[in-house]
Amino acid sequence: MQREKEDELLDIIIVGGGINGAGIAADASGRGLKVALFEAKDFASATSSASSKLLHGGLRYLEHYDFRLVSEALAEREIILRKAPHIVKGMRFRLPHRPFLRPAWMIRMGLFLYDHLGKRSILGSSHQVDLAVSGLFKKDINIGFEYSDCWVDDARLVILNVIDAKERGAEVHNYCRVVNAEDREGIWHVSIVDETSGRHFIRKSKVLVNATGPWVKQFFDEHLKTTSPRNIRLVKGSHIVVPKIHNEEYAYILQNRDERIVFVIPYLHDFSMIGTTDVSYEGDPREVEVSVDEINYLINVVNDHFVKQINKSDIVWSYSGVRPLCDNGTNSPQTITRDYTLTLQQNMNKAPLLSIFGGKLTTYRRLAESAMLHLASFFPSAGGPWTEYEALPGGDFSCSKEQLCKNIRSDFPWLNISTAKRYIDQYGTLAWKIFKDVHEEEDMGMFFATGVYAREIDYLIEYEFVKKLDDMLWRRTKLGIYLSDDQKLAIASYMKLKI
Ligand SMILES: Cc1cc2nc3c(=O)[nH]c(=O)nc-3n(C[C@H](O)[C@H](O)[C@H](O)COP(=O)(O)OP(=O)(O)OC[C@H]3O[C@@H](n4cnc5c(N)ncnc54)[C@H](O)[C@@H]3O)c2cc1C
């Protein structure tokens, strides 16, 4: 980073490049503010790539009377679907009925509210379905209920917001850890260590935003050296991925005997993703791992419902994350509210500090708008809300994804269908950037695996902040599931030459 930039006074420094930090960075820079975003590891490397990948109202939260959260989240599904139609899709969910757990009238009432609490014009409404005909379920499961929600590529939702922020003028840095923040005469002096070079530098801003998710309280203790105004509860959730259990396009929402629910979601065409768990967590959020008990729990719920039985040897991938939840004094991890709280601290002549407690992927855009509302008095000439109708990078198309696939194959006829589909699913119209000055397959550079060429890696390094192998394999793409160890090594060697 150049010296003159380091001396510049920024409007806002945001600490934490998960969905909430990235969403605030995009929103604030789109309003004309001078913003810098610092992420200690890779963007989306913590909770925001470890979710169930749903944009949902949260049917279950109705049982806890979380109506504010549910109605906001329901409305956000279609807004984000419109903003990012490449990485978001509508999905139908089926809930097998088990009368000894929740009576049919209760589910019907919940689904009626779910259909009507939030604005909805694309996603279909709910109804009862005959599940016996599918032959997928055990004999005692005959009927079910069907409703709509959305699926999202969570890590890419973060990256698209980071790209958006950068395109609107923000500075964005991954692998840059904030190690100290001091208020000196009403200006934040923020110390940062670049983990890739070891370089230590200081940036200054009028406002500091603590969007460190599971680390929000720790950030107060260790880097601000003050007491956090709120408590946070860390609740671990894990998922397992197995070869697909069924060929249907539906996701299933299974009710377990402990009254929790577990999703079985179609994933990457070949797999079913199963999760999640809710386990109180006290360790380092970076070290979170799926436990044997969680694996057994998830397998048992699936085997309790489906005719096809699964076991541990079917697992091709698993991941865990830690939910940073606002502590509302409840004991049971699944009943703690999933809603968010923003706390602004600003005493006389002191630099303002805004901290984010809780928040879901689904509501990130509204959370960012709320953050801007909290900060409005400090930036009277900043623009107003704008994110509702603007597409995220790559989402600026009005045709179907199938048509976009056809378009790219007509421009590059040697591209096979599955690669074209992967590019469109991941990049939308950004895919054309990969093909800059490409006329034939040879121009794509080194070939690593079917559909994986040097060109894509170059693009990811240049435009999507890829610095390490895992950034590419597990967050910008999910090629990590498909590639062999030798292929991964070859990509790692190529990246070493480029970075
Ligand atoms: C199992 C599970 C399932 C979920 N499913 C869903 C779902 O289906 N739908 C949904 O809407 N929500 C879901 N959520 C919730 C959602 O994933 C989280 O609420 C959201 O990702 C939190 O984002 P965040 O930006 O607050 O935190 P994070 O994504 O954790 O980001 C915080 C970032 O701050 C960085 N950081 C920390 N300290 C520093 C520092 N000193 N300097 C710089 N950077 C720092 C960290 O490295 C991290 O990347 C789920 C969560 C879990 C755990």
Report residue 126's pLDDT band, with 50, 70 and 90 as the boundaries: very high
- In the chain, list all ranges with CATH 3.50.50.60: 3-47+156-231+338-378
pLDDT at 44: 98
- Work out the mean pLDDT of the chain and round it to a whole number: 95
CATH number of this structure's domain 401-498: 1.10.8.870
- The total of other beta-carbon atoms located within 10 Å of residue 140's CB is 11
Q: How far apart are CA 359 and CA 325, in angstroms?
A: 8
| DSSP code, position 333 | G
- The total of other beta-carbon atoms located within 10 Å of residue 351's CB is 22
Residue ranges in 321-438 assigned as alpha helix (H): 364-375, 401-411, 417-427, 431-434
CA of 48 to the centre of ligand 1 (A): 4
- The total of other beta-carbon atoms located within 10 Å of residue 8's CB is 13
pLDDT at 254: 97
Which of 15, 8, 20 is closest to 341 using CA atoms? 20
pLDDT at 303: 97
CA of 349 to the centre of ligand 1 (A): 32
Q: Is residue 331 scored above 70 in pLDDT?
A: no
- In the chain, list all ranges with CATH 3.30.9.10: 64-153+233-327
| DSSP code, position 111 | H
Pick the CATH number of 64-153+233-327 from 3.40.50.150, 3.30.70.360, 3.40.50.720, 3.30.9.10: 3.30.9.10
Q: Which atom of ligand 1 is nearest to the CA of 359?
A: 19
Nearest CA, atom 19, ligand 1:
360
Digit-coded pLDDT (tens) for 353-406: 999 999 899 999 999 999 999 999 999 999 999 999 999 999 999 999 999 999
CATH class of 3-47+156-231+338-378: alpha beta
Q: 142 is written with which tokens?
A: 């005959």
Report residue 183's pLDDT band, with 50, 70 and 90 as the boundaries: very high
Q: Give me the amino acid identity at 61.
A: Y
- Can you name the residues that pair with 272 across neighbouring β-strands? 242, 266
Q: 396 is written with which tokens?
A: 């600026």
Q: 241 is written with which tokens?
A: 């991925």
| DSSP code, position 224 | I
- The total of other beta-carbon atoms located within 10 Å of residue 142's CB is 13
CA of 388 to the centre of ligand 1 (A): 22
Question: Does the CB atom of residue 27 touch ligand 1 within 6 A?
Answer: no
Q: Phi and psi (nearest 5°) for 341?
A: -135, 135
Which of 37, 150, 23 is closest to 85 using CA atoms? 150
3-state secondary structure of 52: coil
Question: Does the CB atom of residue 212 touch ligand 1 within 6 A?
Answer: yes
CA angle 482/484/490 to nearest 5° reads 115
Q: Phi and psi (nearest 5°) for 457?
A: -65, -40
3-state secondary structure of 176: strand
Question: Does the CB atom of residue 323 touch ligand 1 within 6 A?
Answer: yes
Digit-coded pLDDT (tens) for 412-467: 999 999 999 999 999 999 999 999 999 999 999 999 999 999 999 999 999 999 99
3-state secondary structure of 128: strand
Q: Residues 290-313: what's their mean pLDDT?
A: 97
Question: Does the CB atom of residue 54 touch ligand 1 within 6 A?
Answer: yes
CA of 49 to the centre of ligand 1 (A): 7
Q: Residues 230-253: what's their mean pLDDT?
A: 96
Report residue 4's pLDDT band, with 50, 70 and 90 as the boundaries: low
Report residue 66's pLDDT band, with 50, 70 and 90 as the boundaries: confident
Q: How far apart are CA 129 and CA 136, in angstroms?
A: 14
CB 434 within 8 A of CB 129: no
Residue ranges in 147-270 assigned as alpha helix (H): 154-167, 216-219
Q: Which atom of ligand 1 is nearest to the CA of 361?
A: 11
CB 445 within 8 A of CB 453: yes
Q: 470 is written with which tokens?
A: 């895992």
Question: Does the CB atom of residue 50 touch ligand 1 within 6 A?
Answer: yes
Best residue among 41, 48, 326 to mutate for probing ligand 1's pocket (most ligand atoms within 8 Å of CB) is: 48
Q: Where are the beta strands (DSSP E) in 1-59?
A: 9-15, 35-38, 54-55
- In the chain, list all ranges with CATH 1.10.8.870: 401-498
Q: Which atom of ligand 1 is nearest to the CA of 239?
A: 1
Judged by average pLDDT, the poorest of 96-105, 162-171, 237-246 is 96-105
Q: How far apart are CA 206 and CA 379, in angstroms?
A: 10
Question: Does the CB atom of residue 48 touch ligand 1 within 6 A?
Answer: yes
Nearest CA, atom 41, ligand 1:
178
Q: Where are the beta strands (DSSP E) in 409-472?
A: 447-449, 452-453
Digit-coded pLDDT (tens) for 32-57: 999 999 999 999 999 999 999 999 99
Residue with tokens 């950037």: 433
CB 138 within 8 A of CB 306: yes
Angle, helices 401-411 vs 417-427, to 10°: value is 120
Q: Where are the beta strands (DSSP E) in 39-80?
A: 54-55
Q: How far apart are CA 364 and CA 164, in angstroms?
A: 14
CB 453 within 8 A of CB 444: yes
Q: Residues 291-295: what's their mean pLDDT?
A: 98
Q: Residues 292-306: what's their mean pLDDT?
A: 97
Residue with tokens 């807004």: 79
Cis peptide before 276 (omega within 30 of 0): yes
Q: Residues 478-485: what's their mean pLDDT?
A: 97
Q: Is residue 165 scored above 60 in pLDDT?
A: yes
- The total of other beta-carbon atoms located within 10 Å of residue 187's CB is 14
